Amino acid sequence: MGLQKLCCTAVKILVIFSLRPEQAAMVPSYEQEEYCGVLLSQYDPHLLDTFKLEMSQGIERFFLLSYCLACCWPGLGAKSDLRVVRQWSELQFVFPSQTAEHIALENRYYVRGNSVPIDVDVHHRQGREGSRIFVTIPRFDEGRPITLGTVDEQGNILAYPDYSWHDNQGHNCLGLTSVFRVAIDQCQRLWVMDAGKIGDDQVCPPQLLAFDLTTDTLIYRHVVSNSSYTDASLFITPVVDVRSRGPGDCANTYVYVADVSAYGLLVVDVMRDRSWRTTHRTFYPFPSRGTFTIDGESFDLMDGVLGMALSPYQHGRDRFLYYHSLASTTENVVNTRILRNNTYSDDPNIDPDAVYVFPEERPTQSAAEAMDSNGILYFGLMEPPSIWCWNSATQFSPRNFHEVAVNKETLQFASGVKVVMNAKGEEELWVLTSSFQRVMTGSLSSDRINFRIHAEKIKNILANSPCRNSPKGPNHGYHANLIDRAGDGHIRRPSRYGSASYL
């Protein structure tokens, strides 16, 4: 069947499904053909998402319909250049046996409808092995049977690396307690930051784990020293800095981890198996930005540093860490050379002048962010629910933010944003969105789609985007000159920031 004919057939199906039975019977064939042209530019995304989900078999085959059905919903006047890969009203899990599921239900380790996905990452494999989509489900409270898993073709969640790592529910600190976000590096390692908390209870020490994705075995574990976290700490976002000296060299690795609730940044030196805590005023929330309104529902959340992204690695040069607090509209950047100074073990305070705060701000708050190999940053905005890009070679300003996708229903609260390299060496943007405002207000309902994973190749996203155009002339890359401050960034001062006073 030709693409045009397939599209028209699909549209006719949509016509039938979008009308009541008595209306569909009154639509003659020639009018259905004519209606194809209308629905090519006007459709209800709830219906199309259903069809797309049925066709999800890998990014090359995700949604054949999306090539011909224009992504425009007249009710929103919005366009989306991202495709929905998976979607759920509520998460469904695969247990190793019916007995295991029964035990989880009986002990309230599994409460249907309680699980909320936060992050996504993707492992593309060569040959016949299919790609794997990883999701995290933090244990905000009881009822989350699995905290890190992979998504099968039916959308069910399977425990990673296996169920025995999850069923301890905090009783075995060698397992996984609560995972907010993960990161896959170029060395085929999955980095997992386990916060060690169930609800507000620190049932296990925080730990950073690494799994070899070729064998799915644990290859590294770092338990965070109790001197590097407080009762308020919640480690949620790891970013991995592989400082390779050549092909295949993965030894010199640092992991930077955001402490969203105690307003700090943990630095883990993997090669030497040591870590230290840093703190700075930009890790804190802004009280004036602590109220979030999404799709007409509001909630308060005073979260600190959360979104983080590393500039592209260039051999022999330092990288920059871009970051922001959730309850803020600013973006900050620091040379990672500053963070890698292990003298923070004695005094966690970063020199206040070592961090550059961009003078202009986002129009609304943002959660996760990620940067591609060309230095283009991708991030979500709360209102309107949307994904945007910014070329870091330009001034950080709303006039240099360019729309990737806007959709009031499907792009609410982008809590997971990743740039992923596929098996062909092409970069892809993956985004996990959720109706987080309904989670916070207790109005979450399984009668609507609440969670979605979106994806698209970056070359397609940037095909007609101003983000791909770097400025020419003497100002090209000037931000690096602005933020690459002299000194080591460590200065002893009498003032101490928040949680640092407990250390």
Element (H, E) at 325: strand 320-325
Provide the pLDDT for residue 46. 45
What is the side-by-side strand order in the sheet with 451-457? 83-88, 451-457, 427-434, 414-421
Where does 396-450 show beta strands of DSSP type E?
401-406, 414-421, 427-434
Among the residue ranges 7-11, 320-324, 363-367, the one predicted with the least confidence is 7-11
Q: Mapped to the 3 state alphabet, what secondary structure does 176-224 carry?
A: CCCEEEEEECCCCEEEEEECCEECCEECCCCEEEEEECCCCEEEEEEEC
The residue that leads in pLDDT, 51 or 431, is 431
Give the whole-angstrom CA distance, residue 19 versus residue 169: 47
At position 243, the amino acid (one-letter code) is R
Provide the pLDDT for residue 76. 33
Average pLDDT over residues 379-395: 95
Kindly report, residue by residue over 302-312, the tens digit of the pLDDT: 999 999 999 99
Percent of the chain with pLDDT over 70: 78
Structure-block tokens of residue 21:
């039975």
Structure-block tokens of residue 63:
């949604």
Give the whole-angstrom CA distance, residue 353 versus residue 371: 24
Percent of the chain with pLDDT over 90: 69
Give the whole-angstrom CA distance, residue 281 versus residue 283: 5
DSSP 55-111: T-SSTTTS-GGGGTS--EETTTTEEB--EEEEEESS--EE-SSHHHHHHHHHTTS--
Give the whole-angstrom CA distance, residue 56 versus residue 267: 38
Average pLDDT over residues 137-141: 96
Structure-block tokens of residue 242:
């592989």
Kindly report, residue by residue over 219-256, the tens digit of the pLDDT: 999 999 999 999 999 999 999 999 988 778 899 999 99
| Mean residue pLDDT across the chain | 83
The residue that leads in pLDDT, 67 or 329, is 329
Contacts of 158 (CB under 8 A, 6+ apart): 93, 94, 146, 149, 150, 151, 152
Helix 3-18 and helix 29-39, axial crossing angle in degrees, nearest 10:
100
In the chain, DSSP finds a helix count (H) and a strand count (E) of 9, 31
Kindly report, residue by residue over 284-337, the tens digit of the pLDDT: 999 999 999 998 899 999 999 999 999 998 877 889 999 999 999 999 999 999
Q: How confident is the model at residue 482 (pLDDT cuts 50, 70, 90)?
A: low
Exposure pattern of 442-460 as b/e (b: 16+ CB <10 Å)? eebeeeebbbbbbbbbbee
267, β-bridge pairs: 256, 276
Provide the pLDDT for residue 313. 86
Backbone CA torsion sign across 199, 204, 206, 207: negative
pLDDT value at 438 more than 50:
yes
pLDDT value at 119 more than 80:
yes
Structure-block tokens of residue 462:
């940037």
Q: Which of 439, 292, 265, 296 is nearest to 366 (CA)?
A: 292
Provide the pLDDT for residue 354. 92
Average pLDDT over residues 50-58: 42
Provide the pLDDT for residue 337. 93
Contacts of 425 (CB under 8 A, 6+ apart): none
Among the residue ranges 37-41, 108-112, 228-232, 421-425, the one predicted with the least confidence is 37-41
How far is C-alpha 36 from the geometric centre of its chain's CA atoms? 36
From first CA to last CA, the distance across the chain in angstroms is 67
Provide the pLDDT for residue 248. 82
Q: Which of 44, 54, 46 is nearest to 155 (CA)?
A: 54
Look up residue 26 and give its DSSP letter: T
Average pLDDT over residues 434-443: 93
How far is C-alpha 448 from the geometric centre of its chain's CA atoms? 22
DSSP 358-409: -SS--SS----EEE-TTSEEEEEETTTTEEEEEETTS-SSGGGEEEEEE-TT
